[in-house]
Amino acid sequence: MAEIAIIGGTGLATLKNLKIKRREVIRTPYGEPSGPLLHGELCNTDVVFLPRHGRGHTIPPHMVNYRANIWALRETGVQKVIAVAAVGGIRQDMEPGRLAFPDQIIDYTWSRMHTYFEQDLSHVTHVDFTDPYSPELRSVLIESARSLQLEAVQDGTYGATQGPRLETAAEINRMERDGCAMVGMTGMPEAALARELELGYACCAVIVNWAAGRGPGVISMDDIEASLAVGMEKVRRLLETAIPMAAGCSA
């Protein structure tokens, strides 16, 4: 049974070198996950892979069934989750093509189903979310990047926006004032739901563009795709080192 899951984001709908053993369709109390769970082996370590946006990248960020995804992973025995996400760079060191491992998050989303604790409760439940990412899993990602000599930023606050549109320059200015280093659309409620189910969770962010108002002009999808190609190749190398290390660490 695999205890580690990889959630693939934009640009990572498939995982090269994953030896797929079986596909599992799981139905949850919260509806359908983004797709079948792919059980396989990566670098001699059992893993579960789930593409967040579906195999054909057809599910936009605000329509992802985050509750079903995280519930399905937990039901199959997963204890740790490494989530890959494409983001825009706000802080000066968040250059396109780099990886980043956020240590904090601010939620700017709305209307998403963001908790498991909302009905048929015997008591009101609150979870501590002071540190939204697992320090142990983050350390694995940081050490893996260092050993591979990959350009990676070791910290930063992830600003989670609603999408699917990109942000205005004024919105990015506000997020910078709030302390955000990067902006993405899938960080929440995914991280919080993992905490509610007591799963270790860390994010490997791939910086694919400068956020609105930070680059020389308008945001080009061609430029994003070029940065994705470079960044996701780094992610694949990182995961091949990080997954075996993660198997031996606590959640």
Per residue in 201-216, pLDDT (tens digit) is: 999 999 999 999 998 8
pLDDT of residue 226: 86
Q: Which residues, 6+ apart, have CB-to-CB distance to 73 below 8 Å?
A: 5, 7, 37, 48, 50, 81, 199
Q: Which residues, 6+ apart, have CB-to-CB distance to 216 below 8 Å?
A: none
**What pLDDT band is residue 230 in, cutting at 50, 70 and 90?**
confident
Domain ranges of the chain: 4-115+126-247
Q: What's the whole-model pTM score?
A: 0.93
The beta strands (E) that lie in 119-220 are given as: 152-153, 157-160, 180-184, 200-210
Q: Answer yes or no: is pLDDT of 11 > 70.
A: no
**Interval 90-96 mean pLDDT:** 96
Phi, psi of 199, deg, nearest 5: -100, 140
Per residue in 136-188, pLDDT (tens digit) is: 999 999 999 999 999 899 999 999 999 999 999 999 999 999 999 999 999 99
Of 250 and 117, more confident: 117
CATH of domain 4-115+126-247: 3.40.50.1580
Alpha carbons 179 and 212: distance in angstroms, whole number: 16
